[in-house]
Structure 1
C-alpha cells in the first residue's frame, strides 16, 4: 500500500469516527433526558424523606408536638391518646415509631 492509499484509509477511519461521535452527540442528550425522567420517577416511588429519620429523633419530634398533661386531667389525656392515634396514621413509619414509643419518653 502506498502513502496515498494509507492517507485515504486514515481519512475514511476518521470519517467513521466523526460519524460515530456525531451520532452520540445527537443521542446522548435524549438518553440523558430519559434517564433523568427515570430517576425522577424512582424518587417519587421511593419512601418519603421522613422515613430516613432515626426513630429516636422522630419520637422526640412527635413528643414535642404533643401537649403535656398531668394525671389529673382525664379529658386532656383522652386528647393526647387521640392525637397520638391520629399522628400514627400519617404513615407506617410514623405509626411504628409512635405506637412503639413509651408515652412519657424522657
Structure 2
C-alpha cells in the first residue's frame, strides 16, 4: 500500500445488547406509589402505569373544581399509592401491569 492511500478503519462488530435489567416493574411500582401519595390529585401515578383515561379523570376533577375536588382525588391517590407500595412485585405485575386493573 502506498502512504497516500487513506486507510480504512477495521470493521466494527456490534456488541451484544445486554438483557433488560430485572426490576423494571419494581421501578414503576415505586414511582407510581410515591407519585400516588404525593401527586395523587393530578393523576400522575395513573399516567406512569399507562392508565391515561383514569389519569385524565383525576386531573379534570382537580382542575375543573378549582382545586376543591383535590381533597377527594388526593385521598384516592394516597390509598392507591399505599396499595401499590404494599404489593409484592409479582402481585403488582399481575394486577396492574398484566391485569390492567385501573382503580384500587
Pick the structure with greater CA Rg. 1
Compare the two structures and name the one with the higher helix fraction. 1
Same fold (TM over 0.5): no
TM-score (norm. length: structure 2):
0.28
TM-score (norm. length: structure 1):
0.27
